[in-house]
Amino acid sequence: MSMVDNSSGGESDDEREKKEILQHMECFNRLFVIASSFVQLHYEKYILKQPCMDPKQLGETWIREILDGHESHCMINFSVSKIEFTSLLRFLGTRYNL
């Protein structure tokens, strides 16, 4: 009776062990692919940065492009709306001659 329990449908212990090893390897490969995908996403988002300003541009030119562009560009780059930024520019110009 114990011989039948160990054979389990004609499969030897070696074959079952090989199947288990293959299953573990497949699981490891899937985890490796997932982990490497997360590493790549992290690298692209936080490490591989694209400069927000062309080094050939002067500061004034870059600011003019932002102000002439979409409202969201001003909010993203200066954290204020176009109206608030231009008000600040006028204030600094009249008050401090900047």
DSSP 46: I
42 with 63, same domain: the answer is no
Share of the chain above pLDDT 70, in %: 82
User: Taking 90 as the threshold, does the pLDDT of residue 61 lie above it?
Assistant: no
Cα 37 versus chain centre, distance? 10
| Amino acid occupying residue 87 | S
91 with 67, same domain: the answer is yes
6 with 43, same domain: the answer is yes
Q: State the total domains in the chain.
A: 2
40 with 75, same domain: the answer is no
The position carrying tokens 């400069």 is: 51
Q: Which domain holds residue 66?
A: 59-96
Is the model's pTM score more than 0.85? no
Within a domain: residue 54?
A: no
Cα gap 50→30, rounded to integer Å: 31
User: Taking 60 as the threshold, does the pLDDT of residue 5 lie above it?
Assistant: no
8 with 43, same domain: the answer is yes
Within a domain: residue 81?
A: yes
The pLDDT tens digits for 6-50 are 555 567 889 999 999 999 999 999 999 999 999 999 888 888 776
